[in-house]
């Protein structure tokens, strides 16, 4: 079995409000990027309703709000590439 190191966990809210604002597509795009050492998972409500789609990067505890497909590359460049 291959040992894959994960440096960060990216949570994408999939609760009702975020889904209405496009979080399903955001999750799909992040997962398709397959960024080394980054695990992407869907999450339940992250408590920031109205600011969605919400993306939380752990363990850094960095929050991104109003994430859409067009802003994903900026999130990746600013926070996920070492």
Segment 23-33 mean pLDDT: 97
Helix (H/G/I), strand (E/B), else coil: 79: helix
Please tell me the distance from the alpha carbon of residue 77 to that of residue 4, in angstroms, as a whole number.
Answer: 22
For residues 27 and 19, is the Cβ–Cβ distance under 8 A? Answer: no
State the maximum Cα–Cα separation within the chain, in Å, rounded to a whole number: 42
**Residue ranges per domain, the chain?**
8-80
The strand ranges marked E within the chain are 8-13, 38-43, 55-58, 62-64
The hierarchical CATH code for the domain 8-80 is 3.40.30.10
Please tell me the distance from the alpha carbon of residue 41 to that of residue 55, in angstroms, as a whole number.
Answer: 10
**Is a pLDDT exceeding 90 seen at residue 30?**
yes
Q: What is the pLDDT of residue 38?
A: 93
Segment 16-34 mean pLDDT: 96
């Amino acid at each position: 079995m291959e040992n894959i190191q994960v440096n960060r966990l990216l949570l994408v809210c999939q609760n009702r409000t975020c889904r209405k604002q496009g979080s399903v597509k955001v999750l799909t795009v992040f997962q398709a990027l397959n960024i080394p050492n980054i695990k992407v998972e869907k999450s339940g409500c992250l408590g920031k309703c109205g600011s969605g789609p919400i993306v939380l990067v752990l363990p850094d505890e960095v929050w991104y709000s109003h994430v859409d497909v067009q802003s994903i590359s900026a999130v990746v460049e600013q926070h996920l590439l070492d």
